[in-house]
């Protein structure tokens, strides 16, 4: 059941006059006017079907956590023809649009740890994200990160409905498991540290070929405490996200670029 204040805001909203806040292959997100809510309505995709029920199940499993996008519940509009999942609106948008080093100079030092904490939480509840990356991390008002978009995720070892984006995909992986999320975490920490995507502007096909040959970029410009974390994520050197969290906390890791 939706919290009372959320239900009241939705009751006042007219589904014909919602503001589009984002669209993807499987869903569209609308902002509810005059409040900090969005509603995500899934499409009936010809390959995956509608992912809304699966995503609802994951969010209910994950519960409330400071590193997971706040989920309020499912809502059916009065006409009964449309339903959606209701979330807290995050005005900062997607991390992928704010990777450049001059953006969020104070907050970004905590991003690597926050992303690792998100994975630690979901893996402890038998959820594998299966599409982890800067496109599914949102920036909160205080500059911290929350993980979102679990429509294609694996829960209790179920087959995922999505695949990792090229630059986040572990070479030679069969299926999707925690190691694949951790590989993607290594790529994310790299991106946060250098301020751009892995392999820069290279086409996806070229990036894929480099990954298959295990030709990773030089890490000399990255703080030493993060270099080891990135390398271990890329080489399956971690057994769990909790180990990454431990290393980042022990090292007091910062995503600020090294002075050369």
SS3 for 247? helix
SS3 for 127? strand
Domain presence at residue 137? yes
Alpha carbon distance 32, 17 (integer Å): 9
Q: Which residues of 61-81 are buried (b: 16+ CB within 10 A; e: fewer)?
A: ebeebebbbbbbebbebeeee
> Are residues 40 and 116 located together in one domain of the fold?
no
Which CATH number covers residue 137?
A: 1.10.510.10
Domain end (from 66, 88, 110): 88
Which CATH number covers residue 81?
A: 3.30.200.20
Confidence of residue 27 (pLDDT cuts 50, 70, 90): confident
Domain presence at residue 257? no
> Are residues 63 and 152 located together in one domain of the fold?
no
> Are residues 112 and 135 located together in one domain of the fold?
yes
Containing domain of residue 109, as a range?
Answer: 95-251
Domain presence at residue 101? yes
Q: Can you give the pLDDT at residue 25?
A: 67
First to last CA, the chain: 54
CA distances from 65 to 8, 69, 202, 245 (A): 24, 8, 36, 16
> Are residues 181 and 58 located together in one domain of the fold?
no
Domain end (from 88, 110, 143): 88
- State the burial class of residue 2 (Cβ atoms within 10 Å of its Cβ: 0-12, 13-18, 19+): middle
Average pLDDT in the 13-17 region?
83
Confidence of residue 246 (pLDDT cuts 50, 70, 90): very high
> Are residues 119 and 223 located together in one domain of the fold?
yes
Residue 151: pLDDT above 90? Answer: yes
Residue 235: pLDDT above 50? Answer: yes
Half-sphere exposure for 136 (CA within 13 Å, toward CB): 24
Condensed to tens digits (0 to 9), the pLDDT of residues 211-232 reads 999 999 999 999 998 999 999 9
Confidence of residue 152 (pLDDT cuts 50, 70, 90): very high
Choice between 24 and 193, residue whose per-residue pLDDT is larger: 193
> Are residues 55 and 112 located together in one domain of the fold?
no
Average pLDDT in the 61-70 region?
98
Total structural domains in the chain? Answer: 2
Residue 110: pLDDT above 60? Answer: yes
Domain end (from 35, 62, 88): 88
């Amino acid at each position: 059941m939706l919290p009372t204040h959320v239900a009241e805001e939705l009751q006042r909203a007219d589904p014909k006059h919602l503001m589009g806040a984002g669209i993807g292959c499987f869903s569209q997100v609308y902002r509810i006017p005059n409040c900090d809510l969005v509603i995500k309505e899934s499409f009936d995709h010809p390959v995956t079907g509608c992912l809304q029920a699966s995503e609802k199940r994951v969010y209910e499993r994950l519960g409330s956590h400071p590193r997971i996008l706040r989920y309020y519940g499912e809502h059916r509009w009065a006409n009964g023809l449309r339903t959606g999942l209701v979330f807290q609106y995050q005005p900062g948008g997607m991390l992928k649009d704010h990777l450049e080093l001059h953006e969020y100079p104070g907050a970004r030092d905590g991003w690597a740890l926050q992303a690792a904490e998100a994975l630690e939480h979901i893996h402890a509840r038998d959820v594998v994200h299966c599409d982890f990356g800067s496109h599914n991390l949102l920036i909160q008002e205080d500059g911290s990160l929350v993980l979102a978009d679990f429509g294609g995720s694996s829960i209790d070892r179920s087959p995922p409905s999505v695949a990792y984006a090229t630059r986040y995909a572990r070479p030679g992986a069969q299926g999707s498991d925690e190691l694949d999320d951790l590989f993607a975490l290594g790529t994310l920490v790299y991106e946060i540290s250098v301020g751009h995507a892995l392999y820069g502007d290279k086409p996806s096909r070229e990036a894929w070929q480099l990954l298959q040959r295990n030709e990773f970029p030089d890490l000399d410009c990255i703080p030493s405490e993060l270099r080891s974390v990135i390398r271990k994520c890329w080489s399956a050197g971690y057994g769990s996200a909790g180990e990454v969290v431990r290393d980042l906390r022990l090292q007091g890791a910062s995503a600020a670029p090294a002075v050369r």
